[in-house]
């Protein structure tokens, strides 16, 4: 009996020593000490022994049980500890390093100042019933010039030189090119606006850029006059500057309007007293505008005896430059993130 007990002990200790996983420890515990375990078998058979033997074997069994239990517990603790140190050695991280990109603070992107202003103007004009149109950046000569009452060889073409393609198309010089595309399709009365990127063949400097942004506007109806134009312009400026703005018209020449005007607004920086931004004049040049030339209405299939309208074209870059005190138009296209981050 004693021999048997010693064998169980030896076997159990060997198993425990050679185990490498926590699960194995539990298996051994069941195998030796469990309800049907090796040692339990012995304890169960104690009943058949003489009282003296029972005492001796019982004592011995309990001793062995204790030894095995202790060995199991010790091994369990050892494996748990080494498990942790294994994880620690395999999966350690250097907390002093920069966090990975995915967990770094993410800055959300936002719109370019040109887009911000464009969308603002779109909101103002659509609230007054203007619908938004789009057109191609590479245009035909017809839509950019001819249909706008600027025939071939007309000196007015020199006012807007641009980039030509080999097949005689061009990069549009103004959003006015969208006018005819629009009115060919839409029946009067209508109010349309057309934002977009335009191009000119310019020697660039602080106030000239070969690529810039405009918003075109047009209203056609019965008896549309300059007062409608002035009202809409005042509303647009009020929307942008959040206060009443005075405007004035000066005669200006654009072949597609008659009469044509340059529209100025009172300088928002000095309130009209004269400052550096308005070049001491108290006024800021804002846009070209006028009553649509009958030839343009005709080109769009509209009878000028029945309908009249106004049109305007404003530059977005200059407007933002004035608002934000930007001294060089080339910043807009520079791609310099430090410039963009100021908006
Ligand atoms: N297209 C003109 C320009 O780019 C502006 C303009 C638009 C003037 C509409 C009058 C009417 O200079």
pLDDT at res. 110? 87
In the reported structure, the alpha carbon of residue 172 is separated from the centroid of ligand 1 by a whole-number distance in angstroms of: 12
CA distance 171 to 162: 7
Average pLDDT over residues 312-324: 93
Under 8 Å between Cβ of 199 and 172? yes
What DSSP string runs through 70-103?
A: HHHHHHHHHHHHHHHHHHHHHS---TTSPPPGGG
**Averaged pLDDT of the chain:** 91
In the reported structure, the alpha carbon of residue 333 is separated from the centroid of ligand 1 by a whole-number distance in angstroms of: 22
Higher-pLDDT residue of 342, 100: 342
Longest dimension (CA), the chain: 133
When pLDDT is cut at 50, 70 and 90, the band that residue 320 belongs to is very high
Interior/surface letters 266-293, b for 16+ CB within 10 angstroms, e for the rest: bbbeeeeeeeebbeeebbbbbbbbbbbb
Average pLDDT over residues 21-30: 87
Average pLDDT over residues 6-15: 87
Decide: helix, strand or coil at residue 37. Answer: coil
The set of residues, in sequence order, having a beta carbon less than 8 Å from that of 322 and lying 6+ positions away, is 268, 269, 277, 284
User: Strand order in 247-251's β-sheet?
Assistant: 131-132, 190-199, 211-221, 308-315, 283-292, 257-266, 247-251
Per residue, what are the HEC states of 285-342?
EEEEEEEECHHHHHHCCCCCCCCEEEEEEEEHHHHHHHHHCCCCHHHHHCCCHHHHCC
pLDDT at res. 1? 75
In the reported structure, the alpha carbon of residue 342 is separated from the centroid of ligand 1 by a whole-number distance in angstroms of: 30
When pLDDT is cut at 50, 70 and 90, the band that residue 235 belongs to is very high
Which atom in ligand 1 lies closest to the alpha carbon of residue 314? Answer: 5
When pLDDT is cut at 50, 70 and 90, the band that residue 49 belongs to is confident
In the reported structure, the alpha carbon of residue 72 is separated from the centroid of ligand 1 by a whole-number distance in angstroms of: 92
Pocket test for ligand 1, best of 236, 254, 256, 260 (most atoms within 8 A of CB): 254
Question: Which residue's C-alpha comes closest to atom 4 of ligand 1?
Answer: 174
For the ranges 10-24, 107-121, 207-221, 256-270, which has the lowest average pLDDT? 10-24
The set of residues, in sequence order, having a beta carbon less than 8 Å from that of 32 and lying 6+ positions away, is 8, 12, 38, 39, 68
> Is the pLDDT assigned to residue 325 strictly greater than 80?
yes
Kind and range of the H or E run holding 138: strand 138-140
For 132-145, the pLDDT digits (tens) are 999 999 999 999 99
CA distance 213 to 111: 15
> Is the pLDDT assigned to residue 75 strictly greater than 80?
yes
pTM equals 0.70
> Is the pLDDT assigned to residue 111 strictly greater than 80?
yes
Higher-pLDDT residue of 110, 116: 116
Pocket test for ligand 1, best of 133, 143, 174, 316 (most atoms within 8 A of CB): 174
Pocket test for ligand 1, best of 143, 172, 176, 226 (most atoms within 8 A of CB): 176
Give percent above pLDDT 90 in the chain.
56
Give percent above pLDDT 70 in the chain.
99
Burial classification of residue 235, based on how many CB atoms lie within 10 Å of its CB (0-12 exposed, 13-18 middle, 19 or more buried): middle
> Is the pLDDT assigned to residue 84 strictly greater than 90?
no
> Is the pLDDT assigned to residue 100 strictly greater than 80?
no
For 146-204, the pLDDT digits (tens) are 999 999 988 888 888 899 999 999 999 999 999 999 999 999 999 999 999 999 998 99
Q: Ligand 1: residues whose CB is within 6 Å?
A: 174, 176, 254, 257, 260, 288-290, 311-313
pLDDT at res. 279? 87
pLDDT at res. 107? 75
In the reported structure, the alpha carbon of residue 287 is separated from the centroid of ligand 1 by a whole-number distance in angstroms of: 7
Kindly compute the dihedral angle of the four CA atoms of residues 182, 185, 187, 188, in this order, to the nearest 10 degrees. Answer: 10
Neighbours of 66 (CB within 10 A): 10
In the reported structure, the alpha carbon of residue 313 is separated from the centroid of ligand 1 by a whole-number distance in angstroms of: 4
Which atom in ligand 1 lies closest to the alpha carbon of residue 313? Answer: 7
When pLDDT is cut at 50, 70 and 90, the band that residue 96 belongs to is confident
Pocket test for ligand 1, best of 139, 208, 249, 256 (most atoms within 8 A of CB): 256
In the reported structure, the alpha carbon of residue 316 is separated from the centroid of ligand 1 by a whole-number distance in angstroms of: 13
> Is the pLDDT assigned to residue 304 strictly greater than 90?
yes
């Amino acid at each position: 009996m004693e021999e048997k007990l010693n064998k169980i002990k030896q076997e159990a200790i060997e198993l425990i020593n050679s185990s490498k996983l926590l699960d194995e420890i539990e298996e051994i515990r069941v195998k030796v000490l469990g309800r049907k375990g090796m040692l339990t078998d012995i304890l169960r058979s104690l009943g058949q022994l003489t009282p003296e033997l029972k005492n001796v074997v019982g004592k011995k069994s309990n001793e062995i049980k204790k030894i095995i239990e202790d060995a199991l517990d010790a091994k369990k603790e050892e494996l748990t500890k080494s498990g942790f140190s294994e994880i620690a050695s395999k999966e350690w991280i250097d907390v002093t390093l920069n966090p990975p990109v995915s967990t770094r603070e993410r800055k959300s992107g936002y719109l370019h100042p040109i887009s911000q202003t464009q969308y603002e103007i779109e909101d103002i004009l659509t609230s007054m019933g203007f619908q938004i149109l789009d057109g191609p950046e590479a245009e035909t000569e017809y839509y950019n010039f001819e249909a706008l009452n600027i025939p071939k060889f007309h000196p007015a073409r020199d006012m807007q030189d641009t980039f030509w393609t080999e097949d005689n198309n061009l990069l549009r010089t103004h959003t006015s090119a969208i006018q005819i595309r629009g009115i060919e399709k839409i029946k009067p009365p209508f109010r349309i606006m057309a934002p977009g990127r335009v191009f000119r063949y310019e020697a660039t400097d602080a106030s000239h850029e070969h690529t810039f942004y405009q918003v075109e506007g047009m209203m056609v109806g019965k008896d549309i006059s300059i007062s409608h134009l002035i009202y809409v312009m005042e509303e647009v400026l009020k929307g942008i500057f959040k206060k009443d703005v005075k405007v004035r018209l000066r005669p200006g020449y654009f072949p597609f309007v008659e009469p044509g005007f340059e529209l100025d607004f009172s300088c928002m920086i000095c309130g009209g007293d004269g400052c550096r931004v308005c070049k001491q004049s108290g006024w800021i040049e804002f846009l070209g505008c006028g009553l649509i030339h009958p030839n343009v209405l005709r080109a769009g299939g509209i009878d000028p005896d029945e309908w009249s309208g106004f049109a305007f074209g404003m530059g977005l870059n200059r407007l933002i430059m004035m608002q934000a005190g930007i001294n060089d138009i080339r910043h807009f296209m520079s791609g310099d993130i430090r410039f963009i981050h100021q908006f």
